[in-house]
């Protein structure tokens, strides 16, 4: 999705803006541009294509401005082109704007502006923003330091939809204005300089101190000051949040790709996420989470709502909570949940999982649940992200910044956190024996070392990837927790190798999908639940007898049979096994993508953070 960068300080802005955009490339984009405040007015340099093309634009080296805004665009309204790229200017070239999100009522606003003599150069929804600001600016008769801010505020009151907006103007050559609604934006505070970004990692090398804006909050920045305002322009007092991510966490540290680095960071990510939640000889503990026995006993149902990989983590959480706490859990895709009428009341706990904390559908689902009276709990990897500010409670994964579009360490961190959460509920409810809880805690603490062992399968996996990377279709099978792992393995493969792939609950095969099995097709199965070994093996035999090539990821001793490849991973409690059995599947997608010569970190058509519907 689109990315925003801004700088206001004493240095030349353009190199800082381009460097920032390069750090946002992973979010996915099709064009890029910058605008700076120059002595003779506003400059705009933009084009479709890669950020690095900006270095070749005529005149870019001559920019001297120390205030600027920048953008990577991921087309929604209007094709990728120079005209549709951001920043956009108003008709009089007095205001430059970059925007993330969608102005849903832009057609009405455009007609209004057309009626008032404005013209448009692009097909974007964004171009109404600088023109509407100009409209309100000219209507304001008070010419003080806040005139541009008032114009931006009035324009924002007219917008329907989502937006993170940065504005610079020739009428305020020492300032910049930013505002957001349902779209991410952070302000990094430096010494005599301030930075703006869509996400924290992009400006982490400049500062660790951030201001996090809530919906309809405005910031008026100079190099030395930041003033905050609410929608009615009442002044706000906001606190700095310090982020403890280190800068190497946001670079490749010698790995070829972020995805590979992040796969190998999983033992650390899990250790950090377990953190202090499992104190020795004491119940599980979450700072800021105080759900009591009365509340938990009255819960009639839980929902876990998320998208993509985070939803797959939710499926594993459902099994843990149902098994240990005996509470029914429904897992929902956020984009479906938000448009149906989920049965929710004050005795419902809704859990929302989002690595970025900025996924539009997940945020909308959270708002819906709150409006129906549910208690809401967010699980996110990004401190201060939007879902964490909307939810009643937040618990964090501590995976560190995840840059590759394909989620790996965030997924395993979410799975572990959900299991610890299930234990936390179980201890309060007394729903399982202390012995079972202690066993599970031990298993959790042993996981980082076991993940390290699972990473050692990489040589075997790489060989297997070489054999199958040209396939057109690959199937994944599993039962119980292993079905969830199959779903996640299949999603990883699709995302970064562009191979068509489906995951099936192994027992469903006979009810239709087996018709797709033909000679030579690859079927990958996961078997970690000892109760289901024989059942899944029977399904594997069914595909073998129809000519399938088979790979099995397992922690069980399987009877010798005609499976082509068996990859062994360490054993653990079955509820935790997805954290280990997914590792070879992550590696498999990675090596297939490399064999095919694809861009592992930035797969086509995908964005890291899906901030629009
Ligand atoms: C994972 O590999 C995907 N890129 C995607 O499914 C992702 O998990 C989904 O978009 C949800 O993102 P979130 O966790 O940031 O909400």
- For residue 2, pLDDT over 90 is answered with no
- For residue 169, pLDDT over 70 is answered with yes
- For residue 288, pLDDT over 90 is answered with no
What pLDDT was estimated at residue 419? 98
Q: Which atom of ligand 1 is nearest to the CA of 408?
A: 2
User: How far is ligand 1, taken at its centre, from the CA of residue 491, in Å?
Assistant: 10
For 200-288, where are the E strands, in sequence order? 209-212, 217-221, 226-229, 235-236, 241-242
- Which residue CA neighbors atom 13 of ligand 1 most closely? 354
Instruction: State pLDDT tens for residues 427-445.
Output: 999 999 999 999 999 999 9
What pLDDT was estimated at residue 78? 82
User: How far is ligand 1, taken at its centre, from the CA of residue 310, in Å?
Assistant: 6
Please identify which of the residues 223, 409, 594, 608 carries the catalytic annotation. 608
Pocket probe for ligand 1: among 28, 309, 403, the residue whose CB has the most ligand atoms within 8 Å is 309
User: How far is ligand 1, taken at its centre, from the CA of residue 317, in Å?
Assistant: 16
CA dihedral 321, 327, 330, 334 (to 10 degrees): -70
Parallel, antiparallel, or unpaired: how do β-strands 522-527 and 549-554 relate?
A: parallel
- Read off the pLDDT of each residue in 565-574 and give the average, rounded to a whole number: 97
Question: What tokens does 553 get?
Answer: 């990821």
Pocket probe for ligand 1: among 184, 257, 308, the residue whose CB has the most ligand atoms within 8 Å is 308
- For residue 249, pLDDT over 90 is answered with no
- Which residue CA neighbors atom 6 of ligand 1 most closely? 308
pLDDT band at 343, cuts 50/70/90?
very high
Closest CA to 267 of 583, 568, 587, 586: 583
Give me the residue label for tokens 């062994």.
Answer: 568
Task: Report H helices in 299-349.
Answer: 308-325, 334-337
609 lines ligand 1 (CB under 6 A): yes
pLDDT band at 425, cuts 50/70/90?
very high
Instruction: State pLDDT tens for residues 110-167.
Output: 999 999 999 999 999 999 999 999 999 999 999 999 999 999 999 999 999 889 999 9
385 lines ligand 1 (CB under 6 A): no
Can you tell me the distance from the alpha carbon of 285 to that of 280, in angstroms, rounded to the nearest whole number? 11
Write out 109-146 in H/E/C secondary structure. HHHHHHHCCCCCCCCCCCCHHHHHHHHHHHHCCCCCCC
- Which residue CA neighbors atom 4 of ligand 1 most closely? 406
359 lines ligand 1 (CB under 6 A): yes
Domains of the chain: 3-251 (3.60.20.10), 260-450 (3.40.50.10490), 456-595 (3.40.50.10490)
What pLDDT was estimated at residue 491? 98
Task: List CB contacts of 221: < 8 A, sequence separation 6 or more.
Answer: 8, 175, 176, 177, 178, 187, 194, 196, 227
Can you tell me the distance from the alpha carbon of 69 to that of 32, in angstroms, rounded to the nearest whole number? 11
- For residue 517, pLDDT over 90 is answered with yes
- For residue 613, pLDDT over 80 is answered with no
The percentage of residues in the chain with a pLDDT greater than 70, rounded to a whole number, is 99
User: How far is ligand 1, taken at its centre, from the CA of residue 405, in Å?
Assistant: 8
Q: Lowest-pLDDT range, 50-64, 326-340, 537-551?
A: 50-64
- For residue 476, pLDDT over 70 is answered with yes
- Read off the pLDDT of each residue in 46-74 and give the average, rounded to a whole number: 92
**Cβ–Cβ under 8 Å, residues 491 and 523:** no
- 608 an active-site residue? yes
Pocket probe for ligand 1: among 359, 364, 378, 382, the residue whose CB has the most ligand atoms within 8 Å is 359
Task: List CB contacts of 107: < 8 A, sequence separation 6 or more.
Answer: none
354 lines ligand 1 (CB under 6 A): yes
- Read off the pLDDT of each residue in 259-288 and give the average, rounded to a whole number: 91
User: How far is ligand 1, taken at its centre, from the CA of residue 608, in Å?
Assistant: 7
- Read off the pLDDT of each residue in 254-272 and give the average, rounded to a whole number: 93
Instruction: State pLDDT tens for residues 70-123.
Output: 999 887 788 888 999 999 999 999 999 999 988 999 999 999 999 999 999 999
Can you tell me the distance from the alpha carbon of 302 to that of 319, in angstroms, rounded to the nearest whole number? 12
Average pLDDT, the chain: 93
Instruction: State pLDDT tens for residues 368-417.
Output: 999 999 999 999 998 888 899 899 999 999 998 899 999 999 999 999 99
Q: Calculate the CA 486 to chain-centre distance.
A: 21
Can you tell me the distance from the alpha carbon of 70 to that of 33, in angstroms, rounded to the nearest whole number? 6
Instruction: Give the pTM.
Output: 0.79
- Read off the pLDDT of each residue in 510-535 and give the average, rounded to a whole number: 94
User: How far is ligand 1, taken at its centre, from the CA of residue 609, in Å?
Assistant: 7
What pLDDT was estimated at residue 162? 86
What pLDDT was estimated at residue 519? 94
Can you tell me the distance from the alpha carbon of 344 to that of 364, in angstroms, rounded to the nearest whole number? 15
For 481-548, where are the E strands, in sequence order? 500-505, 522-527
Can you tell me the distance from the alpha carbon of 204 to that of 225, in angstroms, rounded to the nearest whole number? 20
What pLDDT was estimated at residue 280? 81
Can you tell me the distance from the alpha carbon of 228 to that of 160, in angstroms, rounded to the nearest whole number? 22
308 lines ligand 1 (CB under 6 A): yes
What pLDDT was estimated at residue 248? 64
User: How far is ligand 1, taken at its centre, from the CA of residue 279, in Å?
Assistant: 31
- 535 an active-site residue? no
pLDDT band at 560, cuts 50/70/90?
confident
């Amino acid at each position: 999705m689109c990315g925003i960068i801004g700088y206001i300080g004493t240095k030349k802005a353009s190199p800082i803006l381009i460097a920032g955009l390069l750090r946002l490339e992973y979010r996915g984009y099709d064009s890029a541009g910058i605008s700076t405040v120059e002595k003779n007015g506003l400059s705009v340099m933009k084009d479709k294509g890669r950020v690095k093309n900006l270095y070749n634009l005529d005149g870019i080296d001559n920019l001297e401005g120390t205030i600027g805004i920048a953008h990577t665009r991921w087309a929604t309204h209007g094709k990728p082109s120079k005209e549709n790229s951001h920043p956009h200017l108003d008709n009089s070239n007095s205001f430059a704007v970059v925007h993330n999100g969608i102005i849903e009522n832009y057609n009405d606003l455009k007609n209004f502006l057309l009626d008032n003599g404005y013209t448009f150069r692009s097909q974007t929804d964004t171009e109404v923003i600088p023109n509407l600001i100009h409209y309100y600016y000219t209507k304001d008769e008070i010419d003080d330091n806040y005139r541009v801010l008032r114009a931006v505020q009035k324009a924002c009151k007219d917008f329907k939809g989502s937006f993170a907006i940065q504005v610079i103007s020739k009428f305020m050559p020492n300032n910049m204005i930013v505002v957001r609604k349902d779209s991410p934006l952070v302000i990094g505070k430096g010494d005599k300089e301030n930075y703006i970004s869509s996400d924290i990692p992009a400006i982490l090398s400049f500062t660790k101190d951030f201001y996090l804006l809530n919906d309809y909050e405005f910031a008026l920045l100079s190099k030395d000051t930041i003033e905050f305002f609410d929608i009615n322009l009442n002044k706000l007092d906001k606190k700095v949040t310090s982020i403890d991510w280190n800068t190497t966490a946001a670079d490749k540290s010698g790995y070829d790709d972020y995805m590979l680095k992040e796969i190998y960071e999983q033992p650390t990510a899990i250790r950090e996420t377990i953190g202090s939640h499992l104190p020795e000889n004491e119940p599980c503990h979450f700072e800021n989470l105080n759900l009591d026995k009365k509340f938990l006993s009255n819960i009639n149902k839980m929902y876990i709502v998320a998208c993509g990989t985070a939803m797959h983590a939710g499926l594993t959480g459902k099994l843990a909570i149902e098994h240990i706490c005996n509470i029914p859990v429904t897992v929902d895709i956020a984009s479906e949940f938000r448009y149906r009428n989920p049965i929710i009341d004050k005795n419902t706990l809704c859990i929302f999982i989002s690595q970025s904390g900025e996924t539009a559908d997940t945020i909308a689902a959270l708002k819906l649940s709150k409006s129906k009276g549910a208690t809401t709990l967010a699980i996110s990897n990004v401190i201060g992200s939007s879902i964490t500010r909307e939810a009643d409670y937040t618990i964090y994964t501590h995976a560190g910044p995840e840059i590759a579009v394909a989620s790996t360490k965030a997924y395993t961190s979410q799975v572990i956190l959900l299991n610890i959460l299930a234990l936390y509920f179980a201890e309060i409810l007394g729903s399982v024996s202390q012995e079972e809880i202690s066993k599970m805690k031990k298993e959790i603490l042993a996981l980082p070392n076991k993940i390290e062992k699972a990473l050692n399968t990489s040589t075997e996996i790489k060989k297997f990837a070489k054999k199958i990377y040209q396939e057109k279709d690959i199937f994944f099978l599993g039962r119980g927790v292993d079905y969830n792992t199959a779903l996640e393995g299949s999603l990883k493969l699709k995302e970064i190798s562009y191979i068509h792939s489906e995951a099936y609950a192994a027992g469903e095969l006979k009810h239709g999908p087996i018709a797709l099995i033909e000679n030579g097709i690859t079927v990958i199965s996961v078997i970690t639940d000892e109760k289901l070994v024989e059942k899944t093996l029977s399904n594997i035999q069914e595909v073998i007898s129809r000519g399938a090539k088979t790979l099995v990821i397992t922690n069980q001793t399987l009877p010798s049979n005609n499976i082509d490849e068996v990859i062994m991973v360490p054993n653990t409690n079955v509820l935790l096994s997805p954290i280990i059995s997914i590792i070879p599947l992550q590696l498999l997608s990675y090596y297939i993508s490399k064999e095919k010569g694809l861009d592992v970190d930035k797969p086509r058509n995908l964005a890291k953070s899906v901030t629009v519907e």
